[in-house]
Structure 1
Amino acid sequence: MLILGSGPAGLSAAIYGARAGMNPIVVQGIQPGGQLTTTTEVENYPGFREVIQGPWLMQEMQAQAEHVGARMMYDHIASVDLSSRPFKLIGDGGTIYEGDTLVIATGAQAKWLGIESETLLRGKGVSACATCDGFFYRGKKVAVIGGGNTAVEEALYLTNHSQDVTLIHRRDSLRAEKILQDRLFAHPHIKVIWNHEVSRFIGGGQPEGLVAMELRDLNSGALQVIDVDGGFVAIGHQPATDIFKGHLALDNEGYMLVEPGRTMTNVPGVFACGDVADRIYRQAVTAAGTGCMAALDAERFLGHAG
């Protein structure tokens, strides 16, 4: 059993795969541990009453996977051959990994604005996940950047924690579905700033955190500063599926297409789990759950395929 990716989905698949005797090999990719290794505080993963650290959680998952027999390979996959079994993953250095079944758990990365201050304050008030971090801003001022479904959904979600939510959009109309727009415009705790972009996130305090955002009017060029405690970048996600284009069915945003409620792709014996196939939830716990599903689906496939 080959597993590509080592976040919660990949490592959960490895744990279940090893316990089922499928001899899983995990190729970890360029970011071992996935997105949680860049997340400092995790407060919503089941089983922990106290706040835990994302890198620690992933270290524990990997240790558990290795304990039950999974093997970890540190390599970056450059190409794949899914034309026949065993499936092949080819590393940058030419190493070939083979498996009778393949679980893809390469995840998705949030799209960022790409300004320097965003990087400096990421995790210190600047986030790309309101569901993950909104709780920390209860009763505080927050802003969401974006104009699609994700941005509107995050703004609406944040009203559960804040009565001062601002949506900042580059254009004079939203791309989100009309029903979401109607909810947004009707909400008394959300205001919209049109035709503006974030030019700078401003930090302050001790320890340093986000205290304000500098906005640029795209019509006049004028600058204004608004006070905020939390800034949520919601301009979409990019699934890590480039090497599978032409090999597996993807949707129009690049996410893996799987059977509803299952993890099977359009190639028998190849399964997808976690954020690479999830454009809606994108949580560590849902990724881990689908990793388990992928391993069970793979076990059933091998049982029938022989």
Structure 2
Amino acid sequence: MFSFLDMINHYLGYVNLNVKLKNRIYTILGVIGVVYLLYVSVRWIQNGYAMRGSLILLVAIILAYFSVMNIFYYFTDKQAPLDISPKIEKMLGKTLGGTDPMTENRQQMREQRGNGLLNGTTIPANGYFDSKKILPGKVTVSPEQSANIAQLANQLQQMRLMTPDYGGLGSREIAQQLNQNKKPVYAIGLGVNIPYFELKQDGQQMIVYAGMNQAQKAPMGRITTVGLQPIEDVYDKVKLYLANVILVGGPYMEMGRNEPIEKQAPYMIRVQLAYERENHAQQLQKTAADMRQSSFSQSSVPTDTPASRMKRYH
């Protein structure tokens, strides 16, 4: 029996199959092997070899557990119950299971989103800002705001404004990117533009509001730093504007022992802030006010008053 399974495994190595399909075949073969072990263990026990039969039965039960895990991983989209693989991975630094929902025959349905989102020049959602006056901002998110971001991600996906499909890449292309860049590959690429966003000041706090539109906006996070400076040091010295807000994070692929494996991460937002020095703006306002006051004074006082005419005769 084991020679037969080893022979099938050997010949599968000559066929260029999709990773997910190959893992499904291995899972089916594993189930057949588990059934065979259960049969052998029962026969050993029936023949009076209880110790040997019990040991084989124990091994068969352990292998049956992992076979069930593989069935969940490779044949369904559900989370396997009582999955101890993360604990084993943490202890041993190895992965015993994973998911690879990509297929190599899928066509390129869309390009990687976000290739030009963070360069300071392509700002479609909130106007154009000078790239020399744009700084990245760090955002802190509360649990409630994190739930708002997750809800916004679901809405973007339902409206087909976001497609977490790794740009249509197959597992082989993802593995090449992982080996080349040594960075995770996210399902939504570098990020997705958010349709509507605005910045509101609450005391010394700057809160980012975003949503599908102005009517559905919700708080998404609090800005803590602008560039390298804390927000408390700059909020009263410069005027800040939201130049861009994009959705990042979510499911991602990283390289496992032999193939890419998918992991889950929460969706987050990444912001860019345009700034204008407060002193410069105040100086412009003061100059304009002085010009208006000067113009009003000249127009309100006539050049030839009755008093001046009386002085001519005395």
TM-score range, shorter chain: under 0.3
Counting helix residues as a fraction of each chain, which structure ranks higher?
2
TM-score (norm 2): 0.22
Question: Whose RCO is larger (CA < 8 A, sep 6+)?
Answer: 1
Counting strand residues as a fraction of each chain, which structure ranks higher?
1
TM-score (norm 1): 0.22
The structure with the larger Rg is 2
